Amino acid sequence: MAELTKELSQVKGQEPAVPDKDVRVHPDPAPAGKRPPLDVPTGTPTVIVDDLHIVYRVYGAASDNEKGNAVNALTRLLKRQGRPQMKEVHAVKGVTFVAYHGDAIGIVGRNGSGKSTLLRAIAGLLPPHAGAVYTDGQPSLLGVNAALMRELTGERNIVLGCYAMGMTPSEVREKYQEIVDFSGIDEFVQLPMSTYSSGMGARLRFAISSAKTHDVLLIDEALATGDREFRRKSEERIRHIRESAGTVFLVAHDLKVIEQTCNRVIWLHKGKIKMDGEPGEVLAAYNKG
């Protein structure tokens, strides 16, 4: 509680003129003016998150005195209790916000604050425990990694990844060369991905997953990979995607990336929104906290 009050006074201190209630509401739109002002009714919402709670099930997380005892296990079975190895993690605890067309929202927070979980819930990949997420179109997570297989060649993985994202065969043929060129892995495309350096693997994964266009795009730490040249290329591509997409969410630990690409930042702390507003303001508070 003390922490929160301190937080409030900090923000208030910076902008004393703003009434208390509006401190955490969006301030004026970003100076770039790429989107309509948020408080104007014409701004179309694209993602509405309404008091969202996400509970994860984690297996194998028992404390020492609970596990491994057969008698205990049987008793639990008879009493129809859940297994002790199964722990429920309340990752997102009542998050509420509205994202508008043209928003690029950065999400910051410490490790384990629920950032990735929130993205997955927006993408409709994790069912809410309570509350709801409403979206316009199908939000997609920029992340095809899980579908790829290390033992297979880059070539096969490109095809597999594209199909996993829901492309048609003609789209795959069309995008194939573009992906190879963008990733810059050249003749390594014939070799299994297990032989790639970590940078090469990351480049190929990013190239595959960003090959598709999206309405609402969710990016989870995709920019922190590759050498400087590739980072420049990928940031450019993100900007391009952002222009064609309705709304972009970006999770990153690199605050500079967020500052450069986003017009709004949400600070998550222990599964709750601690602050939501203009990048400069929120990031300043985040750096202090």
Partner 1 sequence: MSQPESAVADAQAGGRSGEPLAKLAERYGLRRAIARPRFPVYVRQLLERRHFILTYATSRNVSKYSNSALGQLWQVLTPLLNAAIYFLMFGIILGGNKNITNYPAFLLTGMFIFTYTQRTVTAGAKSISGNLSLIRALHFPRASLPLAYTIQELQQLAISMGVLLSLVVITKEPPNWFWLMIPIVLLLQTMFNVGAGLVIARLGSSMRDLNQLLPFITRTWLYASGVFFSIQDKVVGSAGLPQWVANVMYLNPAASYIEWMRDILIQSHHPENGHNPPLMVLVSCVSWAVFALGFGFWYFWRAEERYGRG
State the residues that interact with partner 1 by CB under 8 A.
1, 4, 21, 24-25, 39, 44-48, 50-51, 55-59, 93-98, 120-128, 132-136, 138-141, 143-147, 149-152, 156, 159-160, 163-166, 168-169, 192, 272-274, 276
Residue 21 CB, nearest approach to partner 1 (Å): 6
Helix (H, G, I), strand (E, B) or coil at 36: coil
C-beta of 131 vs 184, nearer to partner 1:
131
C-beta of 47 vs 211, nearer to partner 1:
47
Cα 233 to Cα 147: distance, rounded to the nearest angstrom: 24
- The DSSP call for residue 153 is B
* Letter string b/e over residues 151-189, b meaning 16 or more CB atoms within 10 A of that residue's CB: ebbbeebbbbbbeebebeeeebeebbeebbebbbbeebb
Residue 9 CB, nearest approach to partner 1 (Å): 14
Residue 15 CB, nearest approach to partner 1 (Å): 16
Q: Which two tokens stand for residue 288?
A: 């202090």
C-beta of 30 vs 208, nearer to partner 1:
208
C-beta of 130 vs 224, nearer to partner 1:
130
Residue 61 CB, nearest approach to partner 1 (Å): 12
Could you please report the per-residue DSSP string of 184-196? T-GGGGGSBGGGS
Residue 163 CB, nearest approach to partner 1 (Å): 4
Residue 167 CB, nearest approach to partner 1 (Å): 8
C-beta of 85 vs 284, nearer to partner 1:
85
Cα 258 to Cα 205: distance, rounded to the nearest angstrom: 21
Q: What is the layout of strands, in order, in the sheet containing 264-269?
A: 139-142, 216-220, 247-251, 104-108, 264-269, 272-277
Cα 171 to Cα 175: distance, rounded to the nearest angstrom: 6
C-beta of 156 vs 184, nearer to partner 1:
156
C-beta of 193 vs 283, nearer to partner 1:
193
Helix (H, G, I), strand (E, B) or coil at 29: coil
Residue 91 CB, nearest approach to partner 1 (Å): 11
Closest Cα partner for 289 from 269, 272, 261, 271?
269
Helix (H) or strand (E) holding 182: helix 169-183
Residue 39 CB, nearest approach to partner 1 (Å): 7
Report CA-CA distances (Å) from 100 to 12, 97, 219, 258.
25, 10, 17, 18
C-beta of 18 vs 184, nearer to partner 1:
18
Cα 49 to Cα 17: distance, rounded to the nearest angstrom: 29
Residue 42 region, left (φ>0) first, then alpha (ψ -120 to 50), else beta?
alpha
